[in-house]
Structure 1
Amino acid sequence: MVNIIPYAQNEHKARLLKQLKQAYLQQIFSQELRFTVFSDDWRERPLVEMVDRVSESSAVELPRVEFEDLIPGMGRLNKDITKSDDIRSGIHFVDGDILYGKLRPYLKNWLHATFEGIALGDFWVLRTKEILESSFLYALIQARKYQQVANLSSGTKMPRSDWKTVSTTEFSIPEKVEQQKIGSFFKQLDNLITLNQQKLDLLKKQKQAYLQKMFI
């Protein structure tokens, strides 16, 4: 008989980890929770002062990312995009840039790039200025305030985030050392969520294989 306990346990763990991340995003960005070594006040700045919206179009031979390549809300790819023969032009991004899906922003299509590539479709490519850490920005775009502003979208059937609204909204940020600490914390948490999800995916495949053998 197939033991389904590991699958159920990991499914429960995956759900709890995602809930924990949301709780930390809320508490840290509302400053209810801070690392003990930091006490300086956070400062409010409009997003446009902290990031550049990259718009350089390119058709060079690089990996291409579009919505269908991303796992919504997870910030990771669902396939090996280096094997694609796609030659369409799009926005050129580099390691460290943030891709944010402005079309139907509630779908949560985003990626913290760790490679150079081309963004296809309705992405904003955000590049941090000197005062902002990209890892912190990546956490910020997932936090409640940014999500609320980004979802003040125009259109009904094909709603899109409004850059003027988002870019002029002020967000609170700490000094760079604290930004680095926060960014590193959420990166570690994301890695833990990813590892657990990969284990869950493997268990799911095993479960399906067992069921297929049992009912042949």
Structure 2
Amino acid sequence: TLKQMKKGFLQQLFPKNGEKVPRMRFTGFQEELEQRKFGEMVNRLNKTSNSSGLPKVEFEDIISGAGRLNKDISNKFDNRKGVIFHPNNILYGKLRPYLKNWLHPNFKGVALGDFWVFEASDTHPFFIYILIQSENYQKVANDTAGTKMPRSDWKKVSNNNFLIPTEKYEQQKIGSFFKQLDNTITLHQYKLDQLNILKRSCLQNMFI
């Protein structure tokens, strides 16, 4: 239910294609939204490293569509080469974008494989993280070539216009709202996971 609620708010708080204003807005904000190219809102980072002292993140470590790691990678060290990311950067899986591999890390590490690493430029980082989950972004990110190994086209994505709030405070308000919602979803998911573990344990001990 919480996941469906988040999906609904993403549709309400971000204007759909052809619309000039979102269907829902936080109280106190009335300024017109501004149209900005995605490439103007982020810096795409490309600095690489094969440091064995930085944890590595790859597609298999991320829960699709949830933006959470499925395991502890704090000790996942090796010398494979990838793009360096820092806390508050945004990772977006450009390979098979319909898999929805994205992450807003709170640690420094190396992204392995087909990731874009974004740094917010004159925009609130968590707002950008939520923007890449919106229908408008997903539509252009999934406008790909190829069938077996489709990849998002940076030229298309970076030149695509999005309507966003001019005030950083409104961006922050939207980002904070979704961050709290994500945290609530994570908490309930953790409880569900623990109950499933308990159930498996009971099944093993109650039946010979």
Q: Does 1:26 align with 2:11?
A: yes
Distance 1:161 1:199 in 2: 35
- Counterpart in the other structure of 1:183: 175
Write the letter of the residue equivalent to 1:44: Q
After superposition, where does 1:65-214 map in structure 2 within 5 Å? Answer: 65-130=57-122, 132-174=123-165, 175-214=167-206
Distance 2:39 2:129 in 1: 15
SS of the residue 2:8 aligns to: helix
1:110: how far off? 0.4
1:210: how far off? 1.0
Q: Which runs of 5+ in 2 are unaligned?
A: 16-21
Distance 2:74 2:2 in 1: 30
Q: Which runs of 5+ in 1 are unaligned?
A: 1-15
Write the letter of the residue equivalent to 1:177: Y
1:23: how far off? 0.1
Q: TM-score, normalised by structure 1?
A: 0.91
Distance 1:63 1:147 in 2: 28
Equivalenced residue count is: 200
User: Percent identity among equivalent residues?
Assistant: 58
Structure 1 outlier segments of 4+, above 3 Å: none
1:85: how far off? 3.0
SS of the residue 2:74 aligns to: helix
1:33: how far off? 0.5
- Counterpart in the other structure of 1:7: none
